[in-house]
Amino acid sequence: MKKGFNRREFLKRTSGAAIATMAGAAPIASLLSSCKSNGISSTADSVILLFMAGGMAHTETFDPKKYTPFRKGMESKEVLSTFPSVPTVLDGIHFSEGLESIGKIMDKGTLIRSYVAADLGHILHTRHQYHFHTCYEPPQSVVVPHLGSWISKEKGPLNPVIPSFINIGQRFTVGEGEELKAFHSAGFLGSEYGPFLIPDPTAGLDSVRPPVGMTTKRFESRNKLYEDLIAAGPMGEFGSDYQKESLKRSMEQAYILLNSPEAKAFDLSLEPAQSYEKYNTSKFGLGCLLAKRLVDQGARYITVTTEYEPFFGWDTHDNGHTRLKDMKKMIDSPIAQLITDLDESGKLDRTLVIVASEFSRDMLTEGRPGLKVKDQVEVPDIIDDMKNYGMHRHFTDGCSMLLFGGGVKRGHVFGKTADERPCKTIENPIKIDSIHQTIYHALGIAPDTNYEIERRPFYTTPDGHGKVEFDLLKETKKV
């Protein structure tokens, strides 16, 4: 994104793109066939993205550096990590204290220490989240499909009753809700490939059943009224036949789910108490449990997020060290338990699990060395207060990511960052287009998959240039 785009301009352009998509982009996509090569084998059937929304500092999580304990009067430039490191199951590989459980299951996956986030001008969380989830820099002239929507469209459902794309844990009534909505979309692919939203996993069953007291006849009446409202709105007036049919199919799928036995998968009260408590660290932890249950029933793509809300969670503009203690308690046990349960059930081999964030953090650098952007928070040169001890600024030149299952190498480490500030990537940098293309490759989706939109091909990665990073996968590149 160019410098100078503010939040209002971002929203204006992305909302305008929605009308443009309905008005002019969809007719060719309505042919319901993409241009792509055939014969791509797969190593994964499902994807679970565990998204640490808000900016997870690599030096405080999966790539710890020199530990400098807090002392009053210390210089902020001394601070690289505010937690000591602890060993993992992999020889010579350490994580930050508080992530011991995940460290014990790293023999089942790959650690990426060299993800480099994009340069999008003035850093805004939702711009980078948009870029992470769609692979396209905002704004765009069309509504760009989410990664989950591409997968839902190209692979179809594993179970026709279970939504192919499920998003767990993110409310749209907090913080930058409208910006978050901008990339939670199937775009020109059609509403049936959009996310099935579950803001609170403990209320997941409420998402798949009518309210108490709602009779079948009354529900059908409301459904008809909703169809009439859609017909009278922008979709009815400007939408293509394809978009209208896609919306109708999404409504029909929701209705089928309401009456299916598989709806019980959304009811966490049916989980055995011992298993439930292993995940019961937070809404995120229970989201991981729900993801496990839904994969068992044939979900194709699931995002579970710690939820993005400005100045909360991983968005550590203050009290960084203190807040990260709580965040680690929230994620450590559930992530490790999810991988363990999937492995023991035999599901991990065909389920690709990703742990990632939109960018990292650093005490001093906003952006990256040589390409700094405006500081969004002041960090005093001398730290006298515990609230200033921690990673406050957005850092894009070295981020950590974990991959498990779905054809990914086990016990593998990819990339490296410098041990001294700036703790930037110095070996094997990898960017989002390569991450996406590697995910698509694991699922058997061809790299040249595209649709003709606004009289030009629109690919899964910009211009179809994303390259598979075969060093992350068990298989070797075929010549």
- The percentage of residues in the chain with a pLDDT greater than 70, rounded to a whole number, is 81
Residue 475 lies in a domain: no
Contacts of 23 (CB under 8 A, 6+ apart): 238
Task: Find the largest Cα–Cα distance for the chain.
Answer: 69
Residue 22 lies in a domain: yes
The pLDDT tens digits for 172-200 are 998 888 899 999 999 999 888 999 999 99
Which of the 8 DSSP states describes residue 21? I
Domain range for 352 is 7-469
306 pLDDT band (50/70/90 cuts)?
Answer: very high
Residue 270 lies in a domain: yes
302: phi then psi, degrees, rounded to nearest 5: -135, 130
Q: In the prediction, which pLDDT does 442 show?
A: 97
pLDDT above 80 for 243: no
Q: In the prediction, which pLDDT does 19 show?
A: 45
State the residue for tokens 């499909």.
145
Question: Helix %, strand %, coil % for the chain, to 5?
Answer: 40, 15, 45
221 pLDDT band (50/70/90 cuts)?
Answer: low
Residue 181 lies in a domain: yes
The pLDDT tens digits for 427-451 are 999 999 999 999 999 999 999 999 9
Alpha carbons 237 and 227: distance in angstroms, whole number: 13
Q: For residues 294 and 162, is the Cβ–Cβ distance under 8 A?
A: yes
Residues in the chain: 479
Residue 75 lies in a domain: yes
Residue 477 lies in a domain: no
- In 3D space, the residue among 18, 360, 13 whose CA is nearest the CA of residue 184 turns out to be 18
pLDDT above 50 for 14: no
- In 3D space, the residue among 263, 394, 407, 400 whose CA is nearest the CA of residue 320 turns out to be 394
β-pairing verdict for 412-414 and 165-168: unpaired
Residue 367 lies in a domain: yes
Alpha carbons 305 and 284: distance in angstroms, whole number: 6
The pLDDT tens digits for 374-386 are 888 888 999 999 9
20: phi then psi, degrees, rounded to nearest 5: -60, -40
- In 3D space, the residue among 438, 439, 369, 430 whose CA is nearest the CA of residue 113 turns out to be 430
- Identify the CATH number of the domain in which residue 139 sits: 3.40.720.10
Contacts of 16 (CB under 8 A, 6+ apart): none
Count of domains for the chain: 1
If you average pLDDT over residues 355-381, what whole number do you get?
A: 89
Alpha carbons 157 and 257: distance in angstroms, whole number: 13
Alpha carbons 377 and 366: distance in angstroms, whole number: 9
Q: In the prediction, which pLDDT does 451 show?
A: 94
Quote the crossing angle between the two packed helices 125-134 and 147-155, to the nearest 10°.
Answer: 20
pLDDT above 60 for 2: no
Residue 282 lies in a domain: yes
